[in-house]
Amino acid sequence: MKLEELKAKFLQTYGQMAQAGFFAPGRINLIGEHTDYNGGFVFPCAISFGNYCLVRRTDQAVIKLRSLNMSFEADIPLSELSMAISNEWVNYVIGVFAQFISRGLQITHGLEMLYYGDVPPGAGLSSSAAIEVVTAVAINTLFGFGIDGQSLALMCQKAEHDFAGVHCGIMDQFASAMSKQGHALFLNCDSLDYQLVPLELGDHKIVISNTNSPHKLDSGKYNERVAECRQAVTEMQKGKKFSFLAELDPDEFSTLEHLISDEKVRRRALHVVEETARTKDAVDALIKGDLSRFGKLMTASHKSLKENYEVTGFELDTMNEEALKNVGVLGSRMTGGGFGGCTVSIVHKDAMANFIENTGKNYRQKTGLTPQFYIAETQDGGKQIF
């Protein structure tokens, strides 16, 4: 939907023109999966799909929330901006307001807010973080709070923890807030040190393949993996003092893994340790222009996510397998939390049409689902657009 159409929708919804508009992007993660809440490295980039928020200031002491994607509507008094509403999309917004209020910052007037997201639903491309970040950028700008982007990302992460009940790492919110067009973001999720790395792929493109098997981050499996990783740390701390799995290199892990009592938990930890090493190697390969090595590391990442972390599933595995059968594909892997969603593949531009035709046909035959394919275009982090 074009911006002028969104402005017309705002006028139709509220009877007045919007005074300001904001956008925050979704993201893909090129490599470094389930490392973020384990203190490791991730390598995401923001994409052109995301969430828009158009806003008008009012003299009423109410925040009015409407969405072009969801039927639920809410008018929330300023005095109730820290109270969640059961199982509704507005909790992502309320949670962000609550973070500002918890810092002693005053929401001094009402707002009419209209949201629209063009992230494919259930794709695992972090639409929730985009909603949070676009809300944070809007509040920060409209009320002149002057909070830096990194702090906004942390506030949005806490909003997801407290109001959506998902104990996510910082990657999604950080990528949505801090990315730069034409770059991927190499982030240390422990220290929050980061480097913007030019995403120079030559004659290759990043293809997002949507399985159309809905990604369900809040199903409990994600939080289960978080708990398993914490268990691994607790048990291995008997042999070494450390805080996060990602602090261990593969050799150190091999000397401590016998302390983990559960074989399943050991495999979870092994994935995190090796994935952290893979991510560092992949960034090094990209910087050196070794796209072949970068692609092989992506493929190895998916294999570990399938066998050790067990977050892929039939649809993602089928999409990955079919993608890798094509000529011109350097690597492919799931992206995001897993349990449905999308894969990302590095594909030569001349092989693009065959890739989409062959992968789509074979995937559809094996799963009964019709996939969708998108060429990933990088995007800046959350910002005001008018």
Q: Where would I find the H helices in 179-257?
A: 221-236, 250-256
Distance from the Cα of residue 301 to its chain's centroid: 17
Euclidean distance between CA atoms 28 and 238, whole angstroms: 36
8 Å CB contact between 33 and 338:
yes
For residue 53, how many other CB atoms are within 10 A of its CB? 31
Per the annotation, the verdict on 249 as an active-site residue is no
Q: Of 172, 203, 262, 317, which one is the catalytic site residue?
A: 172
| Bridge partner list, 77 | 62
8 Å CB contact between 301 and 275:
yes
76: enclosing H helix or E strand: strand 74-77
Euclidean distance between CA atoms 80 and 82, whole angstroms: 5
Comparing C-alpha atoms, which of 353, 171, 362, 377 is closest to residue 276? 171
**DSSP-derived secondary structure letter, 378:** B
Query: At residue 174, what are phi and psi to the nearest 5 degrees?
Result: -65, -45
Number of C-alpha atoms within 13 angstroms, CB side, residue 329? 26
Comparing C-alpha atoms, which of 101, 60, 59, 66 is closest to residue 80? 101
Residue numbers annotated as active site: 172
